[in-house]
A and B are shown apart, each in its own frame.
Chain A
Amino acid sequence: MTTQTEKKFETVIGLEVHLQFKTRTKIFCGCANEFGNQPNTQTCPICLGLPGTLPVFNRTALEYAIKVALALNAKVSSTIKFDRKNYYYPDLPKGYQISQFDKPIARDGFIMIPTASSEKRIGIHRAHLEEDAGKIIHDSDIKASLVDYNRTGTPLMEIVTEPDLRSPQEAYDYLTTLKLILKYLDVSDCDMEKGSLRCDANISVREVGETILRTKTELKNMNSFKAVKIALEFEEARHRAVYLAGETITQETRLWNEIKQMTVTMRSKEQAHDYRYFPEPDLVPFIVSTEQIDEIRQTLPEFPEAKLNRLKNQYGLNDYDANVLVQEKAIANFFEDCCKIYQEPKKICNWLTGAIAAEINSRNNDIVQLKISPQNLTALIAKVENGVVSNLVAKDILTMMIDSGQSADIIIAEKGLAQVSDDSALEKVIDEILAANPGVVAQIKEGKDSAKGFLVGQAMKKTQGKANPKKLGEMITRRLLNA
């Protein structure tokens, strides 16, 4: 006989991701689709829902949606129609959201996510297009709420998984994999902080062996993938505890509270949702031909998984290095451009994942924006390999290259940064150092060999790092032996 505590639970998770497209304009009007402007400066009579206005569908939004559908290995609907989802909220100007109800643009897709041993298929139930709502700011000073409609009408794609995820970690892995694919498509900034990628989660817990799903709760208000994971972990534990206590879970929406690190019941809406969907009469149907889909398929990029395998095979990179490179499509491309010029993949990779990554980080920028070309970077790497500059100095040169956009050659020449290998010049420096440090010289002669490092350091300082430290060490040894 099993006791309560011996129960084995299984977690079932489904995710809904909202993705904002980075089209130039909104989905149904010509207002600029930008983030961060002054409130209500990016609106027009159409997206404000003023009486008498009508929507007209943005061609590029459809193209992007088809791209996403194809990237998710989904079936693309041949007929696309929009429906009205009716509900009242101050951020929804028309009192309805133009969305897709029974004919989503994409259904029955999947993506593969990595697991400890291999990979797992996560089904995509559906993905549909809709318009984003505005933003409500709660102003406690004036005891009122303020509405900004700049975001209203931003093209939004909702991507809904099947309930295939079995743990918060899998949910996290799905999100990072999905985000990387979407970034490769170049249809969205995929920036959770700016809200261009948002995620809600559905979770239920059941006993292993059960075939039907138990009551789920919906989680909202997670502002990072990590928050999604922690919120799911919290909720998973809560469900289990409730079942162990012999109680039941209530179907509800819960908000993740980042400060308290817990989910809390959302003040229950005063009535159940009854969205009264019906076909949007202001928009006509859109027919997507197979030719059109094929044309768009041609424009799809190489996806991360394929790129990873190719980088490993073609350049002999190890799994770790290749994985780091594919995390940013631009970095991976930059890597390949470098390899065309200079056939040292491993060295290039080290520079990209080391010094360049540090520069990108400290400048909060990306590789495309940095003023450095594959030509300039590979030229610099070659100089290190040929002993023209030391590795240390090369990193300073890199910083200067990025600051100025100049080549390594110019900077080395202007700043006199080439390694000093002229023996007579170095002899002179060593003379000075030995004369200035008789105590240290004495220690070395008494057999304390390690004090030699101090003299090398002094010499390096004197040459402003331009000397080759190995060579300096050898010359000092020779001088002291001969003395």
Chain B
Amino acid sequence: MSLNELTAHEILGLIKTKKTTPNDVYQSVISAVREKDSAVKAYVRTCENNADLATLKADAKFPIPTTNKDNICISGHETTCSSKILAGFKPPYDATVIKKLKETGALFVGNANMDEFAFGSSTENSAFGPSRNPWNLDCVPGGSSGGSAAAVASDQTIWALGSDTGGSIRQPASFCGVVGVKPTYGRVSRFGLIAFASSLDQIGPLTKDVTDAALLLNIISGYDPMDSTSINEPVPDYTKSLTGDVRGLKIGIPKEFFIEGLDPEVRQAVEAAIEVLKAKGAVFKTVSLPHSEYSVATYYIIATAEASSNLARYDGVRFGLREQAKTLRKAPIIDMFEETRDAGFGAESKRRIMLGTYSLSSGYYDAYYLRAQKVRTLIKNDFDAVFADCDAILTPTAPTTAFKIGEKTDDPLAMYLSDIYTISVNLAGIPAMSLPCGFSKAGLPIGLQIITKHFAEETMLRVAHTYEQATDWHKKVAKV
């Protein structure tokens, strides 16, 4: 087994016993990228020209090769959100998570591909072209953190950062057969995460197993005075929650998630997972999240409204792309804004900016944005009611396995509906994760989603770890 295929906790063990060095591991990852990425296209940019980012520090606690998503700012390193409009943008500052990773000695591999501004579920909306699913190169890796998930699944990194606004960590984790965690809103600082929807965005880990997820979460979590929405609560050592004991835990199965549209193979895998956890002593009951069917509609109003405003700063004035107008239409400055934004944004970005602008525009606010915020309350209340009586909720991560590249690009609504199981979690601000729970007959991974209440990441990781220890899905390797 080559070093790049190992997990972080395995590597740390080998370094401790002097069986390998951080540099050897890093080189092994770099060779894997050279060998495989022309096929997978997980990266939009490596750190080759930015040696600082991969320099080993003397007292490094976690000198682990780490992949960054292209929407998290690293000082001096081009960060583009896989968009033309941010071409050449080098942030003059580090995101808080990057600062924390640097402090613990991370060795950066590069920035992973994503749907432009995290708008999508397939990575097909990247200005750099789609990433590919390591399990089947004709399939999408999911999105928007598709590059991060594909990099982890194809062993082109040890672990990666992603961001999750409506499932953007969990769905690609599911499609690529890796572990992906969306922490409680406010658990991880958003400072330096280029915003999609501020009230929903959260950074989280994509890893090869649950232990690594706990380790990476330990590094990136915590209160940040630079983010007003970050929560000032102590961060536990998440690895301590990996006890393997779920006896007596009450787990809810929401009946609304097992309906029409759920792929039978996915259903079977999740039902099998329930049996595994039952055998470990967990208690299951059917629960109801009655407003689930409204989550996608609610999400697409709130997320696009916030996005339309968050993306207003891409105007060609201070950074990134500027297109000059060829002829005068309105006024020189307005023409520059409009040409820049026309040339710089891809089709999906324009679609979402338009939708968000529409729902906030004069006369529509109450009917769309305000109503969506109220339904958001109902969705949140649904979870509160279930968690009054349950420790966790278990669902499929996505209704299907990875779909073919190009399959849904002409049907935005169908694409939006592929996030149907993940979206409500972001609306409620609660933590959730995906981990592998089987494969389809076609050999594509299936993801299991575990959801808990605010700040109950420990319970979530404990359930996931217990399941993982009882199965060996996480040990399967995609051959690229």
Contact = CB atoms under 8 A, between A and B. Distances in A.
* A touching B, CB within 8 angstroms: yes
Contact of B334 (A49, A270, A277): A270
A135 interface: no
B312 interface: yes
27 contacts: A49-B313, A50-B92, A50-B319, A51-B73, A51-B79, A51-B91, A52-B193, A52-B195, A54-B191, A54-B227, A56-B227, A86-B308, A86-B309, A88-B315, A90-B315, A90-B317, A274-B361, A276-B361, A276-B362, A278-B360, A278-B365, A278-B369, A281-B198, A281-B199, A281-B306, A283-B228, A284-B228
A49 B360 contact: no
A405 interface: no
Contacts of A145: 333
Given A95-B309, A283-B228, 10 more contacts: A49-B313, A51-B89, A51-B194, A52-B195, A54-B190, A94-B312, A270-B330, A274-B361, A277-B365, A278-B365
B315 A95 contact: yes
Interface string A21-58: 00000000000000000000000010011111111110
A96 interface: yes
B258 interface: no
Contacts of A277: 360, 365
Contacts of A282: 195, 198, 228-229
Interface residues of B, number: 48
A451 interface: no
A469 interface: no
B194 A52 contact: yes
Interface in A49-74: 49-57
Nearest to A84: B309
Nearest to B334: A270
Given A96-B312, A147-B317, A50 B91 contact: yes
A473 interface: no
Interface in A90-140: 90, 93-96
B313 A278 contact: no
A417 B93 CA distance: 65
A40 B311 CA distance: 23
A274 B199 contact: no
Given A50-B91, A54-B191, A93 B365 contact: no
Nearest to A88: B337
A11 to B, nearest CB: 30
B86 interface: yes
Q: Which of B86, B89, B315 has the most CB of A within 10 A?
A: B315
A95 B313 contact: yes
Interface in A267-312: 270, 274, 276-278, 281-284
B226 interface: yes
A52 B318 contact: no
Nearest to A56: B228
B73 A52 contact: yes
B83 to A, nearest CB: 10
B225 interface: yes
A86 B331 CA distance: 19
Contacts of A93: 313, 317-318
A278 B190 contact: no
